[in-house]
Amino acid sequence: MKFILRRIAWMLLLVSGQAAANRSINMPVGVTDVSHKVYNLHMTIFWICVAIGVVVFGVMLYAIVFHRKSVGHQPAKFHDNTKLEVVWTIIPFLILGAIAFPATKTLLQMDDVSDSDLTIKVTGYMWRWHYEYLGTGVEFMSDLSTPYEAIIHRAALGKDYLREVDNPVVVPINKKIRFLMTANDVIHSWWVPELAVKKDAIPGFINETWTRINEVGRYTGQCAELCGARHAFMPIVVDAVSEQDFAKWLTEQQQMRMPPEPSPVNEQVSEEPMLDAESQAAPTAEEPTMAPDQVLPASTGEVSPAPVLDAELIEQKSNLESNEDLTP
């Protein structure tokens, strides 16, 4: 008996020692207030589970060892013991209540996207991410930048193997950043553990989430929804920078995207309206095609039907009226 107990004690010591030495087996504490709360919640519930485990298995082991039949114990008879049944219903209920209260509070905070300073629309593609900084004109694709030779192990693996992209998402620290998540083909999931953000990107739906990063740094993540052959090759890189650096970066990006000055030659040629995919996709401010309340999709993510223009309505109405004239 002593031998078994000593073995269990050694195993527990070993596991806890390893956990302390290598914290990476646990979830990261993260760099946002919400991530700290999520981590603390996780640890609280973990220790509650440990305590329950120790008590339950302790009682079981004690009963098995000291009340075994071979030492002459008779089984106790406590069928239909109301007191006991009430106690073992109330105790788990109280424990669950104690867990549910802080958990719900944190979940509600994670869900509150109001009063954001910046909104970034994130679209998942097979197999890359697209970022659009709403209202700034800045948008870009973010692709894996690990060389193909490294992926097929014909070149040395870099420090950020499969964790590097050509265009990272740049965000300011200490600002509430709202993310609108959607996808263009299949379901993806935008997951950056250190921001405690993991949200599904679903075609035809818009999910919302937010973050406020406390520390400057580079935070990496990956797609967390099995989305096809190159699911493992669509990493996420978030560069959190100071507010000044972000303003500088944004201005640079905007200048890069400025349309070239129209030359006289171009003006003569471009009499016919240009119909490229982009100009069709993004209506300009001069040609509103949406009613003001339809500019932002509802949080249910349903796509609003295309609004009917006044001219079309008038035409439909006159058609109806002329049909009515023809009916006998």
223 near Cu ion, judged by CB under 5 A: yes
Instruction: For Cu ion, give the closer residue by CB, 192 or 227.
Output: 227
x/- map, 196-215, Cu ion, by CB under 5 A: --------------------
CA 108/CA 243 separation, integer angstroms: 27
128 near Cu ion, judged by CB under 5 A: no
Q: How many residues bind Cu ion (CB under 5 A)?
A: 3
Contacting residue, 120, 138, 165, 227, with Cu ion by CB under 5 A: 227
Instruction: For Cu ion, give the closer residue by CB, 34 or 122.
Output: 122
Contacting residue, 128, 178, 188, 199, with Cu ion by CB under 5 A: 188
Determine contact, residues 206/168, Cβ cutoff 8 Å: no
CB of 138 vs Cu ion, minimal distance in Å: 23
Cross-strand pairs, 129: 124, 142
Cross-strand pairs, 122: 131, 181
Determine contact, residues 219/195, Cβ cutoff 8 Å: yes
CA angle (67 as vertex; 62, 68 as ends), nearest 5: 110
CB of 124 vs Cu ion, minimal distance in Å: 5
Provide the b/e sequence for 20-56 (b: ≥16 CB within 10 Å): eeeeeeebebbbbebbebbbebeeeeeeeeeeeeeee
Instruction: For Cu ion, give the closer residue by CB, 37 or 188.
Output: 188
Q: Single out the segment in contact with Cu ion by CB under 5 A; choices: 113-121, 185-193, 204-212, 270-278.
A: 185-193
Instruction: For Cu ion, give the closer residue by CB, 170 or 227.
Output: 227
Pair type for strands 177-183 and 207-211: antiparallel
Instruction: For Cu ion, give the closer residue by CB, 188 or 212.
Output: 188
Residues contributing to the site for Cu ion (CB under 5 A):
188, 223, 227
